[in-house]
Structure 1
Amino acid sequence: MTWRWEYEPDEGTVAGGAPAGFLAEVEKMADELVRAAEVLHLHGPGYQDADEGAKYAFVAGGFFVYMVTPRSELLTIWQVTPNPLP
């Protein structure tokens, strides 16, 4: 298994209509969070504790809500919220 991230349930539902520059920042941060999770959870599929729950990540232009699931070696993005101000 390989660590990865994805939108949950899909990109159109979660990120549809968000500015491209903001989504680029979200995806860049998601890549960094996946690398960190991979180091923190070296034996992801054997993880026995409860998942950490939803977390917020702030990026240029807004924030997003995500969750790390070590057993699946997966980071899911549940919501993206661009800043409404220019």
Structure 2
Amino acid sequence: MSNWSWDYNPSEEYITDGLPVGVVAEVERIVTELAALGPDSVRVGRPLDREGGLREFDILGGRGFVSFLPVPRNECVYVCNITWYGLGEDQ
């Protein structure tokens, strides 16, 4: 288990505004798992050909994606953006 945490950047209100509750819950579940990976989170998601930097990970079967930034020096995974295509809004 890792000592890493996660947070929204710039803020939860800014990033989650207007998103269905189920989408936000799924993103928070995913970033909790990314934080548990600790320093290995720099290799998860896209781009596949390099480590670090802003990463992307599909959510809810490709109906959107989360952009996140793992920062080893802060031991934190920052959620920077959530893109939701609005399909299956019953989430």
SS at match of 1:76: strand
Q: 1:78 corresponds to which letter in structure 2?
A: C
Bigger Cα Rg: 1
Deviation of 1:3 (Å)? 1.3
Question: Among 69, 79, 82, which residue is 2:81 paired with?
Answer: 79
Specify the alignment match of 1:14 in structure 2: 15
Post-superposition Cα deviations, 1:22-57, rounded to whole Å, max 9, x if no partner, equal 11100000011111125x38xxxxxxxxx8100001
Specify the alignment match of 2:65 in structure 1: 63
Find the aligned partners of 1:30 and 1:74 in 2 and give their Cα distance.
Answer: 10
Specify the alignment match of 1:33 in structure 2: 34
Find the aligned partners of 1:9 and 1:54 in 2 and give their Cα distance.
Answer: 14
**What is the aligned-residue identity percentage?**
29
Q: 1:81 corresponds to which letter in structure 2?
A: T
Q: Moved runs in structure 1, 4+ residues, more than 4 A?
A: none
Question: Taking structure 1 as the reference length, what is the TM-score of the superposition?
Answer: 0.78
Q: 1:59 corresponds to which letter in structure 2?
A: I
- Matched residue count: 75
Question: Taking structure 2 as the reference length, what is the TM-score of the superposition?
Answer: 0.74
